[in-house]
Amino acid sequence: MAYIDENNVLDILGKKIHPGKSATINFNMAKLYTTTAVDVPIIIERSKKHGPVILITAGIHGDEINGVEVVRQLIVKEINKPARGTIICIPIINVFGFLNMSREFPDGRDLNRVFPGAKNGSLASRFAYQFVHKILPVADFCLDFHTGGASRFNAPQIRIKKGEEMAMHYANIFNAPFTIISKTIIKSYRETCAKQGKPVLLFEGGKSKDSNKTVAKHGVEGVMRILAHFEMLKPKFEVPDPIADTIVIENSTWMRAKYSGLLHVKIPCGKHVEKGEYIATITDPYGKLRHKVKAPNEGYIINVNESPIVYQGDAIFHLSISKENEQGSDQASV
């Protein structure tokens, strides 16, 4: 189990890292069919000054590149070198999925649905178990980076559970364009952190198999504001001022395609729309069908399906709704 002893020496994965030192440790869990080891690099930066331990992760889903880019930038810009305490960066947790550009582990399981794992379970479950027991215990605060799945592009957002006042406090400090109140998914990394009493912010932005500079910028600047709050950001960095306060969304609905066909989106993700506003068109390939998609209510577009073709019933927009419009909304996760 990872821990910091009375002399402020970090013991993690059998390695001892003293204050003021840096280390990259390879977390080895399994091998490819060829017996080649698959290592998960863990980049650790420690200040000489005592302070909290921040764990920053990305790539739980191997095809979510945008989160990987956020953590990469933190490392290459040396933002991860703390003024006090310790910063642990894991740019790619699911290296298997990253190699295959796949969301899942080789066993077909979603790593973010098997936490806290089992010692003798499936490959994904075993990895989650080792992570929870050998890395997570040392963390005082966690930041986890994700993107939208498939072709669905998420506006930069922090997700927190309803009623978590401390999480809302940290979400306001991070100050992503949006803060979404959402239920914790069973057996997710976020749920495991919460059960262990570890504050966690989950960032979503962009889509899988894509890297977006604007989304990455929001992620990096949010981390810098969090580090500044904990007095861990070095003085050479200027704390980025947010453009505006985060917009808190408590209720939302998925708009679904009424017809199958070619999808032509007319508005950018993150836009505020009015009820009845023209936001997309669905056509057929033969020039027979032309269906205008209009917003069913006023709100913010927080997710856009960027696939050029859709089937009837596919989620095409995620739209915030006010409480008076909440009844009958489709809030199922896609």
Cα separation, 129 vs 137, in Å, equals 12
Contact 85, 19 (CB under 8 A): no
Q: Which CATH number fits domain 3-229: 3.40.50.720, 3.30.450.30, 3.40.630.10, 3.30.70.360?
A: 3.40.630.10
Average pLDDT estimate for 43-50: 98
Percent of the chain with pLDDT over 90: 91
Lowest mean pLDDT across 33-37, 39-43, 80-84, 204-208: 33-37
pLDDT category of residue 331 using cuts at 50, 70 and 90:
very low
Average pLDDT estimate for 90-117: 95
Average pLDDT estimate for 158-180: 97
**Boundaries of every domain in the chain:** 3-229, 251-325
Question: How is 150-210 classified by DSSP, letter by letter?
Answer: TTEEEEEEEEE-TT-HHHHHHHHHH--SEEEE-PPPTT-HHHHHHHTT--EEEEEEEETT-
* Direct distance between the N- and C-terminal alpha carbons of the chain, in angstroms, rounded to an integer: 35
Question: In this model, does residue 319 exceed pLDDT 90?
Answer: yes
| pLDDT value of residue 324 | 62
Average pLDDT of the residues of the chain = 95
Average pLDDT estimate for 260-280: 98
Gyration radius from the chain CA atoms = 21
Average pLDDT estimate for 261-290: 98
pLDDT category of residue 178 using cuts at 50, 70 and 90:
very high
Average pLDDT estimate for 98-124: 95
> Which tokens in the block code for residue 304?
């856009």
Cα separation, 317 vs 45, in Å, equals 40
> pTM of the full predicted structure?
0.95
Question: In this model, does residue 328 exceed pLDDT 50?
Answer: no
The angle at the Cα of 247, spanning 246 to 250, to the nearest 5 degrees, equals 130
Question: In this model, does residue 211 exceed pLDDT 70?
Answer: yes
Residue 223's closest CA among 85, 53, 71, 62? 71
Contacts of 253 (CB under 8 A, 6+ apart): 296, 318, 319, 321, 329, 330, 331
Contacts of 286 (CB under 8 A, 6+ apart): none
Q: What is the pLDDT of residues 216-249, one digit of tens each?
A: 999 999 999 999 999 999 999 999 998 899 999 9
pLDDT category of residue 326 using cuts at 50, 70 and 90:
low
Secondary element (H or E) of residue 42: strand 37-46
Question: In this model, does residue 256 exceed pLDDT 60?
Answer: yes
Topology of domain 251-325 in CATH is OB fold (Dihydrolipoamide Acetyltransferase, E2P) (2.40.50)
| pLDDT value of residue 30 | 79
| pLDDT value of residue 34 | 87
Question: In this model, does residue 261 exceed pLDDT 90?
Answer: yes
pLDDT category of residue 169 using cuts at 50, 70 and 90:
very high
pLDDT category of residue 334 using cuts at 50, 70 and 90:
very low
